[in-house]
Structure 1
């Protein structure tokens, strides 16, 4: 086995992850619907030998708030990800594409079909970020008065993923003969009908597209709640997560990997990729100045709108910006995991209201590192070598500027340390991530029956 290397994904948030990035001169202001911008970003990530690019998605508006805050948001118009990645697949050769799709608000047959199509279009570079969807502004778009309960959503997600994998296995890998001489196009004996009848889904099948080049597109999961960890341990091959300290990240890494044995899975079958938002300068002073410039672009109404998500029953506009929050909500087992991470950090650091919203503005509670390429590489190396990460989901504060900085300054530093590749190892995303290609379940059953 080759020496372990960092895995890198570029988490793309239109103009960048900083909430005021759209106002920054280094951003593309209309990037949410600018295909040329995304082509540039994907090619930059590929030039930096990243494994994949990723866009989060929700079937509703991403940001809301009062009229003042809402009018100042730069994230209200954005592409549907599978459509976007299909376009970018023909403009690139190596980079993988992670698209978010909901197990609560999508149909398993249609989802299986479109991700199989993306995998064929990209020649084996597709990945599905499995989400259950919890945003309050979504359920009304689907004729519902509320979300299903969290427990139901996660239980449904397990079944949904099983159904999708079963559909991807509709055809065995060698089912398509396409022999013009004999006139035989495919072997019907190697076509399998799913006939799934479960608690939440009834899906006959088969899928009307042959098996994806990767067998299955790579399965990704994002989140760190208790049911999220269990879903990742059972189904995911990469998990995106958010931590702000080495100790927290180590505890999560150990916990999620330890859950895999009961699903007959090995720890190396799941890559843990925490988010990191790097603000890069050739000197520390330059990096600090870049960060300060970004922070000055935050309008207070936008910052307070970020705070309000954590105190939904309070009028935070009345709070003193330069004093700590008047109280902290109790951390609850059932609360969204990102809320727990952010509130724990704020309390630990003694943040004022302004400092808290400035921190959230950077990457919504993900790990922000401000410094030189060497400092950022030091931090990444420490997490990678001390049981906290298999790689990172890099979250550029401003796009395209910050991704250019990372590729030009940090990637060479990681390569000099022997931590990161100097060329792509394979043709598919699975090969580059070091993940096995899954065997068709019907082939396995057939072999077992013959034995």
Structure 2
């Protein structure tokens, strides 16, 4: 059988292009318009996408007012609430929500994701993030955000607590025996009695073990800390490679690190994000990209670049090459990727800023056949196991990919034509973790 792509659809925010909401056909309120969100989720399920992926922000984006007022990120639904609603109107597509290890509580998060897994019959996924926005700290009683190393140290312990809580239930803990009057075997529901540097949690959870054992675990980031944590713990790794060469390098590095942790490299899937522009001709696809990029207001450019690089870019000469940068305490891997792009293509600060305002991800532009060619090359030459598809606007970006690219991928055998499993783990070929209580 031909190797197949694992595909996730990026749905929160509904699109990543800075100007998506200005497209003439776009409902500008799509980020918080439930009928629109419902129809898009069902559209991705009909196309047999593996999962919906939702990002999250715990504060307004750190932009100057002139840029922030032009951004549609100022309002959108809580991802777990949104995916719980989507669970009720879909049957097979996976539901991956972002949950912060910097500001969440591990007991509450473990309980909510276990609940989503039960409500969706085994389709939940947790995208682990160490929140980098310094504004978020001010919303949680802190003066400053944790430093990079502290964020990952806390995240590692957070993950340990959450998975212990999921494992604190046997799969066979619920007896529900009406004749004997025994509802549960309390010997198969154990406290975890965790005491660590950041958390003290007795447990157990007051909800049964998730359908999947553990919801699928995802992690994004390319810093040293993110790579190590992903190689040790993640099922899915969301990358941001902007060239096939950097994609291959990241892919090989992550697979090697997973093996070093004693893991099967096939059980960690690498999914770079790509914004796709597709047309019946290449010229049509290029025109779609150009028309979207022309909608980006100039005042959005430098603030978006500052977010990507983790430094204030307003002080740089916009018509000179990007200067040497200090290491950021925010997204270190993201900074490296954008600096590499600037150096590789010799972009001025102004040119790089325009790229940053467009989407912040890799891009593929062309006909359905050309897009499929690129995706097939990435898959078959060890640059990815699939993609997180980013749509440039709504509904056109979704419709273009679903009606033009998906049939071509299916024709080549690179994408399923129907779901073969019931859970997210089954559909992406991941084993189900067993509880230690069942060993």
Give distance in 1, aligned partners of 2:438 and 2:134.
42
What residue in structure 2 maps to residue 264 of structure 1?
Answer: 262
Give distance in 2, aligned partners of 1:330 and 1:377.
36
Task: Check the 8 A contact 1:96/1:125 in 2, yes or no.
Answer: yes
- TM-fit CA distance, 1:311: 7.7
What residue in structure 2 maps to residue 407 of structure 1?
Answer: 402
Give distance in 2, aligned partners of 1:59 and 1:216.
25
1:290-439 → structure 2 map (5 Å cutoff): 290-309=288-307, 310=309, 312-316=311-315, 319=317, 323-325=319-321, 327-330=322-325, 332=327, 336-364=332-360, 366-439=361-434
Shift in alpha-carbon separation, 1:67–1:188, aligned structure 2, 3 A: closer
Give distance in 1, aligned partners of 2:378 and 2:42.
27
Helix, strand or coil at the partner of 2:272: strand
Q: How far does the alpha carbon of each residue in 1:201-259 deviate from its partner, in whole angstroms, 9 at most, with x for none?
A: 11000100000100110000011111100000110000001011111111111111111
Q: How far does the alpha carbon of each residue in 1:103-128 deviate from its partner, in whole angstroms, 9 at most, with x for none?
A: 11010100000000000011100000
- TM-fit CA distance, 1:65: 2.3
1:137-156 → structure 2 map (5 Å cutoff): 137-156=135-154
My pick for the range that moved more, 8-17 or 47-56, is 8-17
Task: Check the 8 A contact 2:83/2:95 in 1, yes or no.
Answer: yes
Task: Check the 8 A contact 1:362/1:368 in 2, yes or no.
Answer: no
- TM-fit CA distance, 1:331: 6.9
1:271-286 → structure 2 map (5 Å cutoff): 271-286=269-284
1:163 lines up with 2:161 in the alignment: yes
Shift in alpha-carbon separation, 1:311–1:203, aligned structure 2, 3 A: closer
Helix, strand or coil at the partner of 1:118: helix
- TM-fit CA distance, 1:25: 2.0
- TM-fit CA distance, 1:191: 1.2
1:243 lines up with 2:235 in the alignment: no
Task: Check the 8 A contact 1:16/1:27 in 2, yes or no.
Answer: no
Helix, strand or coil at the partner of 2:110: helix
Structure 2: which 5+ runs fail to align?
none
Give distance in 1, aligned partners of 2:195 and 2:63.
42
Task: Check the 8 A contact 2:12/2:79 in 1, yes or no.
Answer: no
Task: Check the 8 A contact 2:10/2:52 in 1, yes or no.
Answer: yes
Aligned residues: 437
Give distance in 2, aligned partners of 1:26 and 1:56.
24
What residue in structure 2 maps to residue 448 of structure 1?
Answer: none
- TM-fit CA distance, 1:332: 4.3
Give distance in 2, aligned partners of 1:283 and 1:8.
24
Helix, strand or coil at the partner of 1:159: helix
Give distance in 2, aligned partners of 1:15 and 1:86.
16
Give distance in 1, aligned partners of 2:54 and 2:31.
11
My pick for the range that moved more, 344-353 or 27-36, is 344-353
Task: Check the 8 A contact 1:324/1:350 in 2, yes or no.
Answer: no
1:233 lines up with 2:231 in the alignment: yes
Give distance in 1, aligned partners of 2:311 and 2:380.
39
What residue in structure 2 maps to residue 12 of structure 1?
Answer: 11
Task: Check the 8 A contact 1:15/1:22 in 2, yes or no.
Answer: no
Q: How far does the alpha carbon of each residue in 1:297-320 deviate from its partner, in whole angstroms, 9 at most, with x for none?
A: 11111112223444834535x845
Give distance in 1, aligned partners of 2:286 and 2:253.
35
Shift in alpha-carbon separation, 1:15–1:434, aligned structure 2, 3 A: closer
Task: Check the 8 A contact 2:305/2:357 in 1, yes or no.
Answer: no
- TM-fit CA distance, 1:136: 1.3
Q: How far does the alpha carbon of each residue in 1:244-278 deviate from its partner, in whole angstroms, 9 at most, with x for none?
A: 11111111111111112332211011000011110
- TM-fit CA distance, 1:183: 1.6
What residue in structure 2 maps to residue 127 of structure 1?
Answer: 125
Helix, strand or coil at the partner of 1:405: helix
Task: Check the 8 A contact 1:277/1:362 in 2, yes or no.
Answer: no
What residue in structure 1 maps to residue 36 of structure 2?
Answer: 37
Helix, strand or coil at the partner of 2:364: strand
Give distance in 1, aligned partners of 2:266 and 2:241.
20
What residue in structure 2 maps to residue 223 of structure 1?
Answer: 221
Give distance in 1, aligned partners of 2:368 and 2:78.
33
1:13-162 → structure 2 map (5 Å cutoff): 13-61=12-60, 63-162=61-160
Task: Check the 8 A contact 1:218/1:430 in 2, yes or no.
Answer: yes
Helix, strand or coil at the partner of 2:72: coil
